[in-house]
Structure 1
Amino acid sequence: MSGLRDVRVLVVENDEMNATLLQLQLSSLGAQVIGIAATVKEALAMLDQHEPQVAFLDYWLAGNERSDPVAQSLRERGTPFVLATGMDPGQVPEVFRTSVMLTKPYLSADLTRALLKALELTPAQS
Protein backbone atom coordinates (compact mmCIF):
# COMPACT_ATOMS: atom_id res chain seq x y z
CA MET A 1 0.00 0.00 0.00
CA SER A 2 1.31 3.44 -0.93
CA GLY A 3 0.08 5.38 2.09
CA LEU A 4 -2.08 7.50 -0.21
CA ARG A 5 -5.17 5.27 -0.07
CA ASP A 6 -8.30 7.45 0.22
CA VAL A 7 -6.26 10.66 0.50
CA ARG A 8 -8.16 13.55 -1.12
CA VAL A 9 -5.91 15.30 -3.66
CA LEU A 10 -6.54 18.47 -5.63
CA VAL A 11 -4.55 18.67 -8.87
CA VAL A 12 -3.77 22.15 -10.21
CA GLU A 13 -2.30 21.57 -13.66
CA ASN A 14 -3.15 23.28 -16.95
CA ASP A 15 -1.72 20.70 -19.33
CA GLU A 16 -4.57 18.29 -20.04
CA MET A 17 -2.31 15.33 -20.79
CA ASN A 18 -0.23 15.84 -17.64
CA ALA A 19 -3.39 16.25 -15.57
CA THR A 20 -4.83 13.01 -16.95
CA LEU A 21 -1.59 11.15 -16.27
CA LEU A 22 -1.50 12.52 -12.73
CA GLN A 23 -5.08 11.46 -12.16
CA LEU A 24 -4.29 7.94 -13.38
CA GLN A 25 -1.15 7.72 -11.24
CA LEU A 26 -2.92 8.97 -8.14
CA SER A 27 -5.94 6.72 -8.67
CA SER A 28 -3.66 3.69 -9.10
CA LEU A 29 -2.14 4.56 -5.71
CA GLY A 30 -5.60 4.62 -4.13
CA ALA A 31 -5.85 8.40 -3.79
CA GLN A 32 -9.07 10.27 -4.55
CA VAL A 33 -8.59 13.08 -7.04
CA ILE A 34 -11.27 15.54 -5.94
CA GLY A 35 -10.72 17.87 -8.86
CA ILE A 36 -8.43 19.10 -11.59
CA ALA A 37 -8.05 22.85 -12.06
CA ALA A 38 -6.29 24.57 -14.94
CA THR A 39 -6.62 28.14 -13.63
CA VAL A 40 -6.32 29.99 -10.34
CA LYS A 41 -10.05 30.75 -10.37
CA GLU A 42 -10.96 27.06 -10.83
CA ALA A 43 -8.52 25.98 -8.13
CA LEU A 44 -9.79 28.50 -5.57
CA ALA A 45 -13.40 27.48 -6.31
CA MET A 46 -12.50 23.81 -5.78
CA LEU A 47 -10.81 24.65 -2.48
CA ASP A 48 -14.05 26.27 -1.35
CA GLN A 49 -16.15 23.30 -2.52
CA HIS A 50 -13.90 20.46 -1.36
CA GLU A 51 -11.46 19.88 1.44
CA PRO A 52 -8.35 18.34 -0.06
CA GLN A 53 -5.88 16.76 2.31
CA VAL A 54 -3.03 17.65 -0.04
CA ALA A 55 -2.66 19.48 -3.34
CA PHE A 56 -0.41 19.12 -6.34
CA LEU A 57 0.46 22.46 -7.96
CA ASP A 58 2.14 23.20 -11.22
CA TYR A 59 3.79 26.61 -11.10
CA TRP A 60 2.59 27.88 -14.50
CA LEU A 61 -1.11 27.55 -15.26
CA ALA A 62 -3.44 28.39 -18.15
CA GLY A 63 -3.33 31.92 -19.49
CA ASN A 64 0.24 32.35 -18.23
CA GLU A 65 -1.02 32.51 -14.64
CA ARG A 66 1.17 31.49 -11.74
CA SER A 67 -0.20 29.35 -8.94
CA ASP A 68 0.93 31.74 -6.16
CA PRO A 69 -2.66 32.66 -5.09
CA VAL A 70 -3.54 28.98 -4.77
CA ALA A 71 -0.43 28.31 -2.69
CA GLN A 72 -1.30 31.26 -0.43
CA SER A 73 -4.84 29.96 0.09
CA LEU A 74 -3.54 26.47 0.85
CA ARG A 75 -1.07 27.88 3.39
CA GLU A 76 -3.84 29.88 5.08
CA ARG A 77 -5.97 26.73 5.31
CA GLY A 78 -3.10 24.62 6.61
CA THR A 79 -3.34 22.27 3.62
CA PRO A 80 0.00 20.83 2.52
CA PHE A 81 0.98 20.91 -1.12
CA VAL A 82 3.60 19.78 -3.58
CA LEU A 83 4.98 22.21 -6.16
CA ALA A 84 6.10 20.68 -9.45
CA THR A 85 8.50 22.92 -11.32
CA GLY A 86 11.66 23.01 -13.34
CA MET A 87 12.70 26.24 -11.61
CA ASP A 88 15.74 26.50 -9.42
CA PRO A 89 14.57 26.39 -5.77
CA GLY A 90 16.19 29.78 -5.15
CA GLN A 91 13.95 31.36 -7.80
CA VAL A 92 10.71 30.08 -6.33
CA PRO A 93 8.58 32.77 -4.62
CA GLU A 94 8.45 32.70 -0.82
CA VAL A 95 4.86 31.41 -0.69
CA PHE A 96 6.09 28.07 -2.06
CA ARG A 97 9.03 27.64 0.29
CA THR A 98 7.01 25.72 2.88
CA SER A 99 5.86 23.23 0.25
CA VAL A 100 7.53 20.08 -0.93
CA MET A 101 9.34 20.70 -4.21
CA LEU A 102 9.13 18.14 -7.00
CA THR A 103 11.61 18.78 -9.79
CA LYS A 104 10.41 18.18 -13.33
CA PRO A 105 10.73 15.75 -14.94
CA TYR A 106 9.87 13.25 -12.22
CA LEU A 107 8.97 9.59 -11.87
CA SER A 108 5.84 8.15 -10.30
CA ALA A 109 7.87 7.08 -7.27
CA ASP A 110 9.08 10.68 -6.85
CA LEU A 111 5.48 11.91 -6.94
CA THR A 112 4.45 9.41 -4.28
CA ARG A 113 7.37 10.35 -2.00
CA ALA A 114 6.66 14.07 -2.41
CA LEU A 115 2.96 13.71 -1.54
CA LEU A 116 3.72 11.51 1.46
CA LYS A 117 6.34 14.00 2.67
CA ALA A 118 3.86 16.86 2.31
CA LEU A 119 1.28 14.94 4.35
CA GLU A 120 3.88 14.28 7.06
CA LEU A 121 4.48 18.03 7.34
CA THR A 122 0.82 18.72 8.08
CA PRO A 123 0.36 20.22 11.55
CA ALA A 124 -1.68 18.03 13.88
CA GLN A 125 -5.36 18.95 13.84
CA SER A 126 -7.03 19.46 17.21
Structure 2
Amino acid sequence: MYVLKIRDFSARSLKYIFLKHIDRKAKVTTDKWKGYRPIAKAYDITQVDSDRGLNFKDLHTMIHQIKSWIRTTYSWVSEFNLNRYFNEFCFRINRSQTKNTIFNNLITKMVDSDKVHQSEIICS
Protein backbone atom coordinates (compact mmCIF):
# COMPACT_ATOMS: atom_id res chain seq x y z
CA MET A 1 0.00 0.00 0.00
CA TYR A 2 1.14 3.53 -0.74
CA VAL A 3 -0.54 6.82 0.16
CA LEU A 4 0.38 10.33 -0.89
CA LYS A 5 -1.30 13.67 -0.25
CA ILE A 6 -1.95 15.45 -3.52
CA ARG A 7 -2.66 19.15 -4.10
CA ASP A 8 -5.79 18.59 -6.13
CA PHE A 9 -7.54 15.88 -8.10
CA SER A 10 -6.02 16.85 -11.42
CA ALA A 11 -4.45 14.41 -13.84
CA ARG A 12 -1.14 16.22 -13.27
CA SER A 13 -1.19 15.40 -9.53
CA LEU A 14 -2.18 11.80 -10.18
CA LYS A 15 0.41 11.41 -12.92
CA TYR A 16 3.19 11.92 -10.36
CA ILE A 17 1.96 8.94 -8.35
CA PHE A 18 1.75 6.79 -11.46
CA LEU A 19 5.21 7.76 -12.72
CA LYS A 20 6.88 7.32 -9.34
CA HIS A 21 5.09 4.27 -7.95
CA ILE A 22 3.27 2.27 -10.62
CA ASP A 23 5.03 0.18 -13.25
CA ARG A 24 3.89 0.86 -16.81
CA LYS A 25 3.24 -2.87 -17.25
CA ALA A 26 0.84 -2.95 -14.27
CA LYS A 27 -2.85 -3.46 -14.89
CA VAL A 28 -4.68 -0.67 -13.06
CA THR A 29 -8.39 -0.51 -12.31
CA THR A 30 -9.91 2.88 -11.52
CA ASP A 31 -13.31 4.42 -11.34
CA LYS A 32 -14.56 6.39 -14.34
CA TRP A 33 -13.32 9.73 -13.09
CA LYS A 34 -12.13 11.80 -16.05
CA GLY A 35 -8.83 12.73 -14.38
CA TYR A 36 -7.47 9.28 -15.27
CA ARG A 37 -8.07 9.70 -19.01
CA PRO A 38 -4.79 11.53 -19.81
CA ILE A 39 -2.85 8.94 -17.79
CA ALA A 40 -4.62 6.03 -19.51
CA LYS A 41 -2.63 6.70 -22.68
CA ALA A 42 0.61 5.59 -20.99
CA TYR A 43 -0.80 2.88 -18.67
CA ASP A 44 -3.03 -0.17 -18.95
CA ILE A 45 -6.01 1.34 -17.13
CA THR A 46 -9.44 -0.23 -16.98
CA GLN A 47 -12.13 2.16 -15.80
CA VAL A 48 -15.25 0.74 -14.13
CA ASP A 49 -18.24 2.33 -12.45
CA SER A 50 -17.63 3.04 -8.78
CA ASP A 51 -21.19 2.03 -7.85
CA ARG A 52 -20.98 4.38 -4.83
CA GLY A 53 -17.71 2.79 -3.75
CA LEU A 54 -18.97 -0.80 -3.78
CA ASN A 55 -16.58 -1.77 -6.60
CA PHE A 56 -13.66 -0.43 -4.56
CA LYS A 57 -14.55 -1.76 -1.12
CA ASP A 58 -10.94 -2.60 -0.17
CA LEU A 59 -9.80 0.90 -1.10
CA HIS A 60 -12.51 2.53 1.01
CA THR A 61 -11.70 0.20 3.91
CA MET A 62 -8.06 1.30 3.80
CA ILE A 63 -9.04 4.98 3.63
CA HIS A 64 -11.22 4.45 6.70
CA GLN A 65 -8.33 2.71 8.51
CA ILE A 66 -5.92 5.56 7.75
CA LYS A 67 -8.39 8.16 9.00
CA SER A 68 -9.14 6.15 12.15
CA TRP A 69 -5.44 5.55 12.84
CA ILE A 70 -4.57 9.24 12.52
CA ARG A 71 -7.53 10.34 14.66
CA THR A 72 -6.72 7.88 17.45
CA THR A 73 -2.92 8.23 17.38
CA TYR A 74 -2.32 11.97 17.11
CA SER A 75 -3.95 14.83 18.96
CA TRP A 76 -3.00 17.28 16.20
CA VAL A 77 -1.96 16.69 12.59
CA SER A 78 0.37 19.05 10.80
CA GLU A 79 -0.37 19.56 7.12
CA PHE A 80 3.39 19.84 6.59
CA ASN A 81 3.93 16.35 8.03
CA LEU A 82 0.87 14.65 6.55
CA ASN A 83 2.90 12.54 4.09
CA ARG A 84 5.10 11.42 7.00
CA TYR A 85 2.02 10.17 8.83
CA PHE A 86 0.93 8.37 5.67
CA ASN A 87 4.40 6.82 5.28
CA GLU A 88 4.32 5.53 8.85
CA PHE A 89 0.87 4.02 8.35
CA CYS A 90 1.91 2.39 5.08
CA PHE A 91 5.08 0.99 6.65
CA ARG A 92 3.05 -0.52 9.48
CA ILE A 93 0.30 -1.96 7.27
CA ASN A 94 2.73 -3.31 4.68
CA ARG A 95 4.88 -4.87 7.38
CA SER A 96 1.86 -6.43 9.07
CA GLN A 97 0.85 -8.00 5.75
CA THR A 98 4.30 -9.55 5.22
CA LYS A 99 5.22 -10.78 8.71
CA ASN A 100 5.36 -14.40 7.61
CA THR A 101 7.60 -13.66 4.67
CA ILE A 102 9.92 -11.45 6.75
CA PHE A 103 10.71 -14.36 9.09
CA ASN A 104 11.00 -16.84 6.23
CA ASN A 105 13.35 -14.50 4.36
CA LEU A 106 15.53 -14.10 7.45
CA ILE A 107 15.78 -17.84 8.01
CA THR A 108 16.51 -18.47 4.33
CA LYS A 109 19.30 -15.88 4.34
CA MET A 110 20.75 -17.37 7.51
CA VAL A 111 20.76 -20.88 6.07
CA ASP A 112 22.18 -19.79 2.70
CA SER A 113 24.96 -17.57 4.08
CA ASP A 114 28.46 -18.64 5.02
CA LYS A 115 29.09 -19.90 8.54
CA VAL A 116 30.12 -17.33 11.12
CA HIS A 117 31.81 -18.62 14.26
CA GLN A 118 31.34 -17.04 17.64
CA SER A 119 34.99 -16.00 17.82
CA GLU A 120 34.48 -13.91 14.66
CA ILE A 121 31.68 -11.81 16.11
CA ILE A 122 33.02 -11.25 19.64
CA CYS A 123 35.25 -8.23 20.04
CA SER A 124 38.30 -8.90 22.15
Q: TM-score, normalised by structure 1?
A: 0.31
Q: TM-score, normalised by structure 2?
A: 0.31
More helix by share: 2
Structure whose alpha-carbon radius of gyration is higher: 2
More strand by share: 1
